[in-house]
Amino acid sequence: MPVAIERQETRSIIRLEGECPVGSAMDLKNLLVESLNRDQPVEVDLTGAREIGISVLQLLWAAEQEAARRNKVFGCLVSEEAISAAYEAGFERFPGTSGTETSRG
């Protein structure tokens, strides 16, 4: 399964590995909703993801917006491949990052 969750005392970590196509989006959505409903920060680890579909990017963007609305900490750990996927899909930065990771000069 390319989507898994690790619940720690101080945070929830959602990991995506390998290819993350549209089919992974429903699993990711369920874990994001569950994690955002908990009273701890949420981190999404995409360092092991090789391909990220647009639906996954859209879910991460929506999760970032919902976390901000709830004053919750939300962040993503990303690989260069993930940054490239977001940039090619039209995102100015990768959801859940400060934006410095995606700067293109």
Please write the tens of the pLDDT for every residue from 70-95. 999 999 998 887 888 788 888 888 88
pLDDT at res. 101: 45
Does the pLDDT at position 104 exceed 50? no
Residues 6+ apart with CB under 8 A from 6: 12, 13, 15
Residue whose entry in the numeric block shows the structure tokens 């990771």: 101
Q: Tell me the pairing of strands 3-7 and 12-20.
A: antiparallel
* CA distances from residue 91 to 1, 39, 54, 58 in whole angstroms, order as listed: 26, 29, 10, 10
Q: What are the domain boundaries of the chain?
A: 3-98
Compute how many other C-beta atoms are within 10 angstroms of the C-beta atom of residue 46: 25
Q: In this structure, which topology does domain 3-98 adopt according to CATH?
A: Transcription Regulator spoIIAA (3.30.750)
Give the model confidence (pLDDT) of 24-72 as tens digits: 688 899 999 999 999 899 999 989 887 788 888 899 999 999 999 999 9
